[in-house]
A and B are shown apart, each in its own frame.
Chain A
Amino acid sequence: MSLSATTARPSPAAPPSPDVSRRRRRGRLLNRLDVKYSPYLYIAPFFLIFGVFGLYPMLRTAWMSLHDWDMIGEHSFIGFDNYTRLFSDEYFWNALVNTFGMFALSTIPQLLLALFLANLLNRTFLRAKTFFRMAIFVPNVVSVAAVAIVFGMLFQREFGLFNWLLSFVGVDPVDWDGHRWSSWTAISTMVNWRWTGYNTLILLAGMQAIPKDLYEAAEIDGAGPWRQFWQITLPMLKPTFIFVVILSTIGGMQLFTEPLLFGNGNIIGGNQREFQTLAMYMYEMGIVNLNTAGYGAAVAWAIFMIIVVVSLFNFLLVRRTAK
């Protein structure tokens, strides 16, 4: 309809020849098509590739989780059996406890430290700003694999630096990968080292967006630095803090590489599954054991549901406490 209306409109100057006018008309048509439809071409690569390799596998995970699915052979529909099986699976609960233990040991100290460092970096007359920012962020640049290898040696029983340092305060060498609490500590240390700087920068960015005159007004009202931190910085930082907490939750619930490499590639995480995480359990069930792929898929969805619930819980918690 609209196309024919355009072409029927008489052009202001008479065309020199029918041939040129046809070419011009075709040019205008192409131009209209270009303006109207080419944007879809530009966004198509994202939707195409994400659809095939992102969205489809995710939906397929849900479908698989309702089956007794063997990656190489048969699969039969079993409804929610895989999910009910989770409740009585002691290895699943073990992985759940481990994941939450390491999540708490890494997220809480990390965010407190990041808050503290960001507050220091937010000083007006700080010299060597860029240097400090870069130094604190540089651990995030290294691969998890490298971090796990280096810290694996630092936490070695016989010759590791941490045990050597502990010997000065009279503590016997710790068998870091032999117990739950010690392996959790070692793995959380790697996570903290790698992510504190990143969170510091995000929080710092949030702090710098707070208008300075709020502080001046508070100063005039006689509020000290501590009070200003509690009553201005923290409440104003709430959106950024929620963002950081949710990112940490997503990361923490998916912890995989650090514990895997800390245990020299053992997917069960220590001899007695002392540090097997949910993501490792999913990998064990879904990829190492191909015949339990359906059950592995159920574990994957369980992780997703846990992330949603924990994120929501943290969101509400942060929103309440920072009021």
Chain B
Amino acid sequence: MISASQRLWRTSPLTYLALVLAALLSIYPFYYMLVIASRSLDNINDVPPPLTPGGAFGDNFGRVLDNDAANFLKGMMNSIIVSSVVTLSVVLTGSLAGFAFAKLKFRGSNALLLAIIVTMMIPTQMGLIPLWGMMQDLGWYDTLYAVTVPFLVSAFGVFMMRQYASQAISDELIEAGRVDGASTFRIYWSIVLPALRPAAGVLGLLTFMETWNSFLWPYAILSPENPTLQVSLSFLSYAYYTDYSQVFAATAIGTIPLVIVFLVFGRQIIGGIMEGAVKS
């Protein structure tokens, strides 16, 4: 006999139909991107529009690389550098501060944690104009410092690591480290950080994706000669709007790595997002 709630929440074919439809709508634009990216230029203005991939991807991507105005490779390199540095820093500073808030006693810790949570509610765009001026004054306009340094820490990162550390690490473990004469930093490095690895992984993935995809600030502070990947894509699409094959080939190359990362780590990423939602 099945229980009441099991009967209530059974899945009908209609449920699957709706979910499959939603999944198709979610995935279709990726597919479309690959279709256009792999079609020759004469193909894409056909009516009806092409619906299956062609064989011209190499050609199209070759045009991206030959296009000096797009600075695509430079953008790719810049994005890899900036995203890696920011990710590493957010995970390290986040876990260090999260550990301190979760497991160490110090004066004012509650008020300071509250301050961090409050900053999560402030829209970053609020400081855009003065920040732009500050970068000019620092001589950081059009440098990678401008798109890296302000993002080396994240309030969300601190908060997430604190939540995880307070559950995953027992006080006894830290006491044991102290009895053995380890310094606080030693305890962080050899006991806490390894224990935080699952949460650090999710935070790292989210940070990497966010940094890789960020647009507004790099667009404001970098020139087309020294872009990040997203900035390069945007200039490519303004300037070569008739050559969609080329633009889409570039867009696909900039997107596929993230999709692969997501296919590999999707379960953890989704778990992290859903867990964060329940706790906040």
Contacts and interface: CB of A to CB of B under 8 A. Distances in A.
Interface in B236-280: 237-238, 241, 244, 247-248, 251, 254-255, 258-259, 262-263, 266-267, 269-270, 273-275, 277-278, 280
Contacts of A282: 125, 128-129
A164 B47 CA distance: 8
B106 A39 contact: yes
A149 B233 contact: yes
Contacts of B69: none
Interface stretch (B4-12, B52-60, B194-202): B4-12
A143 B5 contact: no
A132 B19 CA distance: 7
Interface in B98-123: 99-101, 104-106, 109, 112, 116, 119, 121-123
Interface stretch (A9-17, A58-66, A76-84): A58-66
B119 A61 contact: no
B181 to A, nearest CB: 8
Nearest to A38: B184
A212 interface: yes
A293 B133 CA distance: 10
A145 B230 contact: yes
A220 to B, nearest CB: 6
A149 B220 contact: no
A141 B259 CA distance: 7
Given A46-B158, A201-B273, A57 B10 contact: no
B237 A264 contact: yes
A51 B266 CA distance: 34
A144 B97 contact: no
A130 interface: yes
A35 B133 CA distance: 40
Contacts of A122: 9
A42 B188 contact: yes
A37 B275 CA distance: 32
A42 B132 contact: no
Nearest to B109: A39
Given A60-B130, A143-B215, A146-B255, A43 B233 contact: no
A142 B131 contact: no
B273 A198 contact: yes
**Which of A42, A49, A216 has the most chain B CB atoms inside 10 A of its CB?**
A42
A297 B113 CA distance: 29
Interface string A199-219: 001101110110011011001
A257 B125 CA distance: 12
Contacts of A34: 183-185
A197 to B, nearest CB: 6
Contacts of B185: 34, 38
B29 A159 contact: no
B237 A149 contact: yes
Contact of A137 (B126, B130, B153, B270): B270
B29 A151 contact: yes
Contacts of B36: 153
B93 A46 contact: yes
Interface string B16-52: 0011001101110110110010000000111111000
Contacts of A291: none
B85 interface: no
Contacts of A50: 119, 153, 155
24 contacts: A34-B183, A42-B100, A58-B126, A120-B19, A135-B27, A137-B26, A138-B259, A138-B266, A141-B262, A143-B233, A146-B33, A146-B254, A149-B234, A150-B248, A150-B251, A164-B48, A193-B29, A205-B273, A208-B278, A243-B277, A243-B280, A265-B234, A265-B235, A282-B129
